[in-house]
Amino acid sequence: MGLGRITRFAKTPEGGRRVNVMRAGRAGVKALAPPEDLFADFTREKAAAKRGGASADQAHVTAFERARYAERFRHHVLGHAEGRDALRELIEEAKTRDVYVMCMCPYRTPGEACHTYLILNFAKELDPAVRILPEPAPARGVKASRAADQALGTVLRRRRATRSR
């Protein structure tokens, strides 16, 4: 029993529960998703890094750093009761079964540049006894970084289409 991270492209281990902590969609724990301004800054910085010639993985790490993601996300989650309470609920559930927080970032994201890794770190701070689970690998044949970039592009296109209506 414990708390882990999983990509959208990996199968949830038997008996475990996958928890969406992404901005996209209606389902999930939105208190543990990145706030809109942080996500927008990250997305803008990632696009700029790619235009500058960075690989997808390097652009991801660069954007994470330039957006001050870790600092801002910490404030978003731990600086507000809603975020702390949502995280405490996951920690409690992880005492009875495996719980995986899910994002579209790549499998074993370089530099752990994903808010799900931050969530695991925050959980360990709130409860040092929480067991951090290994990350399940994505399905065979899925290029995790490329697939995540494609999925993110789809989400952004849908969001733009919705706003233009």
Chain-wide mean pLDDT for the chain? Answer: 87
Q: What is the pLDDT of residues 27-74, one digit of tens each?
A: 889 999 999 999 999 999 999 999 999 999 999 999 999 999 999 999
Q: How far is 19 from 71, CA to CA, in rounded Å?
A: 23
Over residues 3-11, the mean pLDDT reads: 93
Give pLDDT, residue 159.
44
Q: Looking at the predicted structure, is the pLDDT value of residue 6 above 90? A: yes
CA distances to 29, 93, 104, 142, 145 from 9, rounded to whole Å, are 19, 23, 8, 7, 10
**Residue ranges making up the domain that contains 118:** 3-163
**pLDDT for the residue numbered 25:** 77
How many structural domains comprise the chain? 1
